């Protein structure tokens, strides 16, 4: 027991004994004890009143004095209060520091509650999203960032990816947004200024598109002269081989320019025009005819259409997907091999399969073959007339149709390219 309480109990016992003694002198022992007990009770009530008064109204830094057990009680309360005051000061300081450092971040941060209402935001978010401190707190974020892509992003609730949007302030500023969930039902919207990257990307795209466009005219002229020379019966015999090589190279260059133009068109095209119901069965049949018209095609090119489901998309882009995959399968499969082109649908979506029994692809090359100009064997690819852009075009077209490309392959055994279309991209006729 703390010493203050021991001496308090001893004092109480002493006082009660004195009360009993004095009461005994007057033949009223109990009365004496009672009076002493009442006096003690009154004294403790008085101190309790002082404590309550101090906690309610008194100056918190002036501890009331007293005697007995009360000074340690006052002191302990004061100690606890001082500790919590210090903790509050530390928290306030920490919040101030956090606010100050968040204010210096080049990236924007917007705190959102479980209803996607704005709790607070830093200076960069204020600037990038044109938010106003006084008005926008408590507003739903989609009411302020009304871009359809952002509204759909929030509604879908899939925050594993970043989305890019024109900045609400207008001009040609762009921002990327990523929602990071944290704590129970809290979200942080991270906003980054990507104007410079978008501008650079646009400049690169425009340059490639313009250069390809400009190169087309002189190439058409050269090809015209080469065709004329090749048909000229009076041309010296020694010219035939170089002329044939020059014609094949200029045809390759024309294909390269066409692919570059198609790729830059795909990169800059918006999501419009992707809603037509495309008959995949008919596309596969036409791809088979194209394959059978290619030189050295495999003897067996089979089509299996297991579903009448159509894909909502752009017919030209979907044709490009099928024709690039089939032309690769044909070019990388020997004549004695086989190519199978299939289409089927299940609850997971639509699946377009192009499988061959050709040369196959090494495991380490598979993740890279959809990169522009990436070839597993440059010499062979060139000799096969490839541009190195076919699969990059396929990947872009599929991305625009929200589809995924799956590649399975074994060197020497063949490859299977499968395009998985999500169920909402299918139309059942």
Interacting residues toward ligand ADP by CB under 6 A: 324, 328-329, 332, 356, 358-361, 369, 375-377, 381, 386-392, 415
- DSSP letters along 20-56, please? HHHHHHTT-HHHHHHHHHHHHHHHHHHHHHHHHHHHH
Taking the complex as a whole, the smallest distance from the CB of residue 270 to ligand ADP amounts, in Å, to: 25
Nearer to ligand ADP by Cβ, of 279 and 356: the residue is 356
Nearer to ligand ADP by Cβ, of 19 and 414: the residue is 414
Taking the complex as a whole, the smallest distance from the CB of residue 290 to ligand ADP amounts, in Å, to: 15
CA–CA gap between residue 372 and residue 259 (Å, rounded): 11
Taking the complex as a whole, the smallest distance from the CB of residue 329 to ligand ADP amounts, in Å, to: 5
Nearer to ligand ADP by Cβ, of 375 and 420: the residue is 375
CA–CA gap between residue 252 and residue 383 (Å, rounded): 10
The pair of structure tokens assigned to 21 is: 């003694």
Burial class (CB within 10 angstroms; exposed 0-12, middle 13-18, buried 19+) of 96: exposed
Nearer to ligand ADP by Cβ, of 172 and 304: the residue is 304
CA–CA gap between residue 221 and residue 179 (Å, rounded): 53
Taking the complex as a whole, the smallest distance from the CB of residue 218 to ligand ADP amounts, in Å, to: 23
Contact in structure between 274 and 314 (CB atoms under 8 Å): yes
Buried b (16+ CB within 10 A) or exposed e, 202-228: eeeeeebbeebeeeeeebeeebeebee
Nearer to ligand ADP by Cβ, of 298 and 360: the residue is 360
Nearer to ligand ADP by Cβ, of 344 and 375: the residue is 375
CA–CA gap between residue 356 and residue 334 (Å, rounded): 10
Q: Which residue has the tokens 């289409």?
A: 343
CA–CA gap between residue 333 and residue 413 (Å, rounded): 10
Taking the complex as a whole, the smallest distance from the CB of residue 370 to ligand ADP amounts, in Å, to: 7
Taking the complex as a whole, the smallest distance from the CB of residue 252 to ligand ADP amounts, in Å, to: 10
Taking the complex as a whole, the smallest distance from the CB of residue 384 to ligand ADP amounts, in Å, to: 7
Contact in structure between 370 and 363 (CB atoms under 8 Å): no
CA–CA gap between residue 32 and residue 43 (Å, rounded): 17
Nearer to ligand ADP by Cβ, of 149 and 371: the residue is 371
Taking the complex as a whole, the smallest distance from the CB of residue 227 to ligand ADP amounts, in Å, to: 24
Nearer to ligand ADP by Cβ, of 192 and 395: the residue is 395
- Classified as helix, coil or strand, 260 is helix
């Amino acid at each position: 027991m703390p010493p203050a309480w021991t001496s308090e109990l001893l004092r109480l016992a002493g006082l009660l004994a004195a009360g009993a003694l004095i009461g005994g002198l007057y033949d009223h022992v109990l009365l004496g004890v009672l009076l002493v007990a009442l006096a003690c009770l009154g004294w403790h009530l008085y101190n309790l009143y002082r404590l309550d008064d101090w906690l309610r109204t008194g100056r918190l830094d002036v501890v009331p004095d007293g005697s007995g057990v009360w000074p340690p009680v006052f002191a302990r309360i004061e100690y606890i209060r001082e500790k919590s005051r210090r903790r509050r000061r530390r928290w306030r300081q920490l919040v101030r520091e956090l606010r100050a450092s968040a204010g210096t971040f080049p990236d924007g941060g917007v705190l959102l509650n479980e209803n996607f209402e704005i709790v607070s935001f830093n200076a960069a978010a204020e600037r990038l999203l044109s938010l106003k401190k006084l008005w926008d707190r408590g507003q739903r974020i989609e009411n302020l960032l009304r871009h359809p892509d952002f509204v759909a992003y929030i509604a879908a609730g899939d925050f594993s990816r970043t989305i890019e949007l024109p900045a609400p302030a207008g001009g040609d500023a762009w921002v990327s947004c990523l929602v990071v969930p944290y704590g129970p039902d809290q979200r942080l919207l991270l906003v980054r200024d990507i104007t410079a990257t978008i501008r650079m990307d646009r400049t690169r795209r425009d340059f490639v598109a313009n250069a390809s466009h400009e190169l087309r005219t002189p190439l058409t002229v050269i090809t015209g002269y080469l065709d004329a020379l090749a048909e000229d019966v009076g041309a010296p015999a020694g010219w035939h081989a170089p002329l044939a090589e020059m014609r094949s190279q200029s045809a390759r260059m024309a294909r390269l320019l066409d692919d570059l133009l198609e790729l830059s068109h795909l990169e800059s095209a918006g999501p419009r025009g992707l809603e037509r119901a495309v008959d995949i069965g008919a596309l596969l049949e036409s791809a088979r005819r194209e394959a059978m018209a290619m030189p050295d095609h495999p003897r067996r090119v089979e089509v299996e259409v297991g579903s009448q489901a159509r894909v909502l998309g752009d017919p030209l882009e979907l044709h490009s997907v099928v024709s690039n995959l089939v032309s690769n399968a044909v070019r990388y499969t020997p004549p004695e091999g086989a190519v199978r082109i299939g289409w089927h649908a299940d609850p997971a979506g639509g699946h377009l399969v192009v499988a061959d029994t050709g040369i196959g692809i090494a495991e380490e090359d598979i993740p890279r073959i959809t990169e522009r100009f990436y070839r597993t064997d440059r010499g062979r690819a060139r000799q096969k007339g490839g541009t190195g852009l076919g699969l990059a075009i396929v990947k872009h077209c599929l991305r625009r149709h929200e589809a995924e490309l799956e590649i399975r392959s074994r060197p020497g055994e063949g490859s299977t390219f499968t395009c998985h279309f999500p169920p909402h991209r299918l139309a059942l006729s």
